[in-house]
Homo-oligomer: A and B are copies of this chain.
Amino acid sequence: MSTETVPAAPVTAALCIIGNEILSGRTKDKNIGFLAEELTGIGIQMAEVRVVRDDEAEIVAAVRSLSERYTYVFTSGGIGPTHDDITTACIAKAFGAKVARHPEAMRRLTAHYAHSGVEFNEARKKMAEIPVGATLIDNPVSAAPGFILGNVHVLPGVPRILQAMVAGLKPGLVGGPQVLSRTVACTVGEGTVAEGLGAIQARYPAVEIGSYPYFRPGGVFGTSLVLRGTDAVLLDAAAEEVRDLVRSFGGELIDDESAA
């Protein structure tokens, strides 16, 4: 029986974006990049993203599949008061739960609309319908709560509101070891360093090395070599080898922070 320390299993997440408006191109997504950065920062690795139509069968299938595979699932979109907001019903269906008017959600929405001069009508009361057994997610912007059911965290699609709600959720999310990164940006084409880079990757299996060519206005181009891993010492050693490789081809190293 081995007594070696087994590295902790990575904590993973998936995002399911529910929205015809993203798929038609009318609305440009801003939630993938935001959530990816936030989760990376607390040791949760975003492992998959899906964008699905406002269609019950599609949403239920995607949420079930992602919920089984990843530690956390986040959904965005489809929890408003209109006929096209079907996310809550779909999540309930995915977990075999009933939906009921949630007293605390009603209280928050009642208070919110009492101060707004806007009628808290039947359509808006739909935003207080929550799957039975779910926990509410605070919405400090527009009151209508999200919810957590199983490992699925249901959020709205409007980036400003989603961002505020994720800020509130973060202290309750349990990440694994944080994935650190080092970027070596350089003026050498990626094909030039490819062979040497592959050799460094083979020597550092615990470091994930990605190569990303970039093109800036004015014909400036180069390569960002990105090293990711949980061990800072290994990461620094691998990054130094990558810098040596770039120098061996007469390449110029660019200040990492300014790299594309």
- Taking Cβ atoms with an 8 Å cutoff, the residues of A that contact B are 17, 20-29, 32-40, 45-54, 58, 80-85, 118-119, 121-124, 126-127, 158, 160-161, 179, 181, 189-195, 197-198, 201, 208-215, 226, 228
Counted per complex, copies of this chain come to 2
What secondary structure prevails in chain A residues at the interface with B? mixed
Beta-carbon nearest neighbor of A215 in chain B:
B160
Are B53's CB and A47's CB within 8 A?
Answer: yes
CB pairs A–B below 8 angstroms (26 shown): A20-B210, A21-B226, A22-B33, A24-B36, A24-B40, A25-B37, A25-B38, A25-B40, A25-B46, A26-B181, A26-B226, A28-B32, A28-B33, A48-B50, A48-B53, A48-B58, A80-B211, A82-B191, A82-B211, A83-B198, A83-B211, A84-B209, A118-B189, A118-B192, A122-B195, A123-B198
Beta-carbon nearest neighbor of A48 in chain B:
B52
Give chain B nearest CB distance to A190 CB in angstroms: 5
Write out the residue numbers on chain B whose beta carbons fall within 8 Å of the beta carbon of A126.
Answer: 194
Beta-carbon nearest neighbor of A36 in chain B:
B25
Q: With A123-B191, A192-B121 in contact, is A32–B21 under 8 Å at CB?
A: no
Are B48's CB and A197's CB within 8 A?
Answer: no
